[in-house]
């Protein structure tokens, strides 16, 4: 019989103490069209044979962690409003975050430890507010699902308008610290959205056209040995170091170009978002503790033939150059000198968008019952642009897990073959 999940009605967890009221502005980065979405992800916490768990006490501890953290992160207890079209802000209402408690009818092992394809519908594992509440007005929601083995999953939905991934992880780490009895968060939260310049907007250009693709969905892992082999090649040929992101992205970009077989002179493009906190040292009171959006889009375009014929070392070098250029582009944008809207991305089959979740921080959140064994994103219903998400594989595995939605069926066999050569 298929596993079932029984949910309690959503309930509000308000801050544990008084919090300021009023409205707070969002930054010019927060308000870019690229981040006006909700982000869903799930953390998996297996039971431990040597540490039997009182599930009721664990849930109560987690609730308390949220209530105490919201005193410090009081905007998260508020609601998103848009009194002026195109100028969203946060109203500090102090209402709190919606919290759902749920019970699954099976063990985590019975549910295949929530490996894909999920045997429990994702809607059963993710929090949603009551029907009369608009999801897009909420800042963050949480659902804890108890499994019969003593394990949990925690589903989180957060507004990308208020947080980037690192910012949301910072808040959840504070929830964990409060749940574990710390008197205050180890990082003092910084709002300061109005400190970020609001440069004049470059011309938007024509609205993007959307094509719905029928992507094959799959999960592949790239071993540490494979990553190290390419890093060693890069060091040997260029005397430069490179990151795991550089290597994994080069592998995917090359394999996909070989698989889709575009005409030699046709463009294939790579897009990614990079963190820019380090570029805001002289802008924010402190970049440590700032939990707003600090990302900027970067990427590169090459002809199909160039990518097919290039070595991995050459592609890694091109990616590193694109990352270096991104810093200049971001500072140019901040100063109002950008002549084009870098947030406009070509949404077509020739564009690959990669997102790295392996170092965001969600894997280091401890609500009082240990760190998760696995964290995975659930925004997997996007079918308008080829995408890959990088995750840490479930413990104790090492390497990088790729969640792939980037080729259609006619290209999937070649794509898998090329990946197997390099993974």
380 annotated active-site: no
Length of the chain: 423
Q: What is the DSSP string of 19-64?
A: ---SEEEPPTTTTSGGG-SEEEEEEEE---TTS---HHHHHHHHHH
Catalytic (active site) residue 160:
yes
Identify which of 246, 212, 214 has the alpha carbon closest to the alpha carbon of residue 412: 214
Q: Are 296 and 333 in contact (CB under 8 A)?
A: yes
Q: Of these residues, 72, 160, 164, 342, which one is catalytic?
A: 160
Which burial class, exposed, middle or buried, applies to 130 when counting CB atoms under 10 A from its CB (0-12, 13-18, 19+)? Answer: exposed
Q: Which of 267, 332, 366, 380 is the catalytic position? A: 366
The answer, yes or no, to whether the previous bond of 396 is cis (omega within 30 of 0) is yes
Rounded distance between C-alpha atoms, residue 340 and residue 328, angstroms: 14
Q: Is the peptide bond before 229 cis (omega within 30 degrees of 0)?
A: no
Measured CA angle at 312 (ends 306, 318), to 5 deg = 65
The answer for 239, left when phi > 0, alpha when psi is -120 to 50, beta otherwise, is left
Q: What are phi and psi of 141, to 5 degrees?
A: -135, 155
CB 374 within 8 A of CB 114: yes
390, 411 in Cβ contact below 8 A?
no
Give me the residue label for tokens 């969203």: 88
Coil vs helix vs strand at 287: coil
Q: Render 394-421 in DSSP notation, one character per residue.
A: STT--SEEEEEE--BHHHHHHHHHHHHH
Give the separation between CA 15 and CA 368, rounded to whole angstroms.
19
Q: Which residues are catalytic?
A: 160, 366
């Amino acid at each position: 019989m298929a596993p079932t999940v029984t949910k309690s009605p959503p309930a509000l967890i308000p801050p544990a103490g008084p919090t300021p009221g009023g409205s707070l502005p969002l930054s010019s980065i927060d308000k870019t069209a690229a981040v006006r979405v909700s982000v869903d992800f799930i953390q998996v916490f297996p039971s431990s044979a040597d540490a039997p768990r009182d599930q009721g006490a664990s849930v109560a501890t987690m609730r308390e962690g949220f209530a105490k953290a919201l005193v410090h992160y009081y905007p998260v207890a508020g609601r998103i409003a848009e009194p002026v079209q195109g100028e969203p802000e946060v109203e500090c209402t102090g209402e709190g975050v919606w919290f759902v408690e749920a019970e699954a009818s099976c063990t985590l092992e019975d549910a295949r430890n929530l490996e894909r394809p999920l045997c429990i519908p994702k809607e059963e594992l993710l929090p949603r507010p009551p029907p009369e509440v608009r999801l897009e007005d909420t800042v963050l929601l949480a659902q804890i699902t108890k499994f019969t083995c003593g394990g949990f999953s925690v589903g989180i939905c957060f507004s990308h308008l208020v947080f980037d991934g690192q910012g949301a992880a910072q808040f959840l780490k504070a929830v964990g610290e409060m749940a574990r009895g710390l008197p205050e968060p180890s990082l003092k939260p910084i709002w300061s959205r109005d400190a970020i310049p609001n440069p004049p907007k470059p011309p938007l250009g024509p609205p993007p056209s959307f094509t719905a693709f029928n992507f094959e969905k799959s999960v592949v892992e790239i071993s540490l040995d494979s990553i190290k082999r390419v890093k060693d090649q890069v060091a040997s040929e260029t005397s430069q170091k490179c990151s795991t992101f550089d290597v994994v992205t080069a592998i995917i970009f090359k394999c996909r170009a070989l698989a889709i077989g575009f005409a030699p002179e046709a463009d294939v493009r790579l897009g990614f978002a990079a963190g820019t906190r380090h570029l805001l040292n002289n802008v924010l009171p402190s970049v440590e503790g700032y939990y707003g959006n600090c990302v900027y889009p970067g990427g590169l375009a090459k002809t199909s033939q160039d990518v097919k014929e290039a070595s991995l070392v050459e592609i890694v070098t091109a990616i590193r150059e694109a990352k270096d250029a991104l810093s200049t582009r971001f500072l140019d944008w901040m100063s109002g000198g950008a002549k084009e809207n870098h947030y406009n991305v070509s949404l077509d089959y020739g564009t690959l968008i990669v997102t790295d979740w392996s170092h965001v921080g969600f894997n280091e959140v401890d609500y009082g019952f240990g760190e998760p064994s696995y964290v995975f994103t659930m925004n997997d219903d996007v079918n308008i642009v080829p995408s890959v998400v990088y995750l840490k594989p479930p413990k104790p595995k090492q390497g990088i897990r790729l969640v792939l939605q980037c080729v259609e069926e006619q290209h999937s066999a070649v794509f898998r073959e090329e990946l197997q050569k390099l993974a």
